[in-house]
Amino acid sequence: MDKVKVLAVIGPTGVGKSKMAIELAKKFNGEIISGDAYQVYKQLSIGSAKITPEEMDGITHYLVDCYDYEDTYNVKIFQEQARKYISEIQAKGKLPIICGGTGLYIKAALYDYVFEEEQEDEAYSKLLNSLSDTELYERLKQEDIESAQALHPNNTRRIKRALMMNHLGHKKSERLQKQNHEMLYDAYILGLTVERSELYKRIDARVVKMMDMGLLEELQDIVKDDTTFALQSMRGIGYKEWQSYFQKEASMEETISLIQKNTRNFAKRQYTWFNNQMDVHWFDIRKPNIKDDIQQQVQNFIEG
């Protein structure tokens, strides 16, 4: 039995993935599944650069605006729902298109990732919470160097998760090695890129535009107190940076600058992650006739 064809449109934040995905959906009779970790939340629109109904231009989108910001949403839930929508779109005779920059989410949907039920040791969790970010990362390097090398030293949440796995007798790296990481679909991974300095200009300008659109007002509508920033939904860039502002420890200018800096750094990490984890066909969006070139490659993919 032939595998279902899936097109993935990936790339760093701010490069124009959504617009390209819509153009391809129109051209090739597709529907789009958002592969973004934060556009699912109804209340988080500006900071997540959520696509608007007008920008969708009549193309059906899934996993946009479907969860409350206080709801639980994670990669396991995304995996289950994305695969369900892939099947439904394919059954309609249409092309499933996953569009987004959250690499782990997209890989989890396309490859044979298996997520086991998470276990917890409360006493050990308290110990981890008492350690600094540096101490946590050093501990993980001692216990599971492969997992440490795969995680950013500041990704405290995932470092704690890996340490908890080790503590409970299941190293994260060993668990991953048991999985084959085979592609479940006939997928073409289309990556959009642009010269780094141009990308950074786009990112900085986009953050300024978010402020003009009312990003601060969006935060003021949902932030009740410090506990709001502990929610999963508030861990995204564009939201988490506001905690110091609301605590009156940082100015608005400092907060905007921090969002720009964190977004630029995130874009760098996205390139590294995609290049190391997936077979990406990269296209420089500034090249002449690039849209024609992309459409031809997608046509070749669809025709096999």
pLDDT above 60 for 215: yes
Of residues 258 and 169, more confidence is placed in 258
pLDDT above 60 for 117: no
Long-range pairs for 269-274 at CB < 8 Å and ≥24 separation?
Answer: 269/152, 270/11, 270/12, 270/13, 270/101, 270/103, 271/12, 271/193, 273/103, 273/104, 274/10, 274/11, 274/103, 274/191
Mean pLDDT computed over every residue of the chain: 91
Annotation-wise, does 93 bind a ligand? no
**Which tens digit of pLDDT belongs to each residue from 37-90?**
999 999 999 999 999 999 999 999 999 999 999 998 998 899 999 999 999 999
pLDDT above 60 for 251: yes
Q: Where do the structural domains in the chain lie, given as residue ranges?
A: 5-114+186-303, 122-177
Annotation-wise, does 15 bind a ligand? yes
Annotation-wise, does 125 bind a ligand? no
**Matching residue, tokens 């040791």:** 121
Annotation-wise, does 236 bind a ligand? no
Annotation-wise, does 16 bind a ligand? yes
Percent of the chain clearing pLDDT 90 (strictly above) = 68
Region of poorest pLDDT, from 136-140, 197-201, 245-249: 136-140
**CATH number of the domain at 5-114+186-303, out of 1.10.4080.10, 3.40.50.300, 1.10.10.10, 3.30.565.10?**
3.40.50.300
Torsion from C-alpha of 79, 84, 85, 87, nearest 10 degrees: 120
Overall average pLDDT of the 93-105 stretch: 94
So what's the pLDDT on residue 123?
80
Overall average pLDDT of the 110-115 stretch: 82
Annotation-wise, does 12 bind a ligand? yes
**Which tens digit of pLDDT belongs to each residue from 142-170?**
888 888 887 888 888 888 888 887 877 77
So what's the pLDDT on residue 239?
96
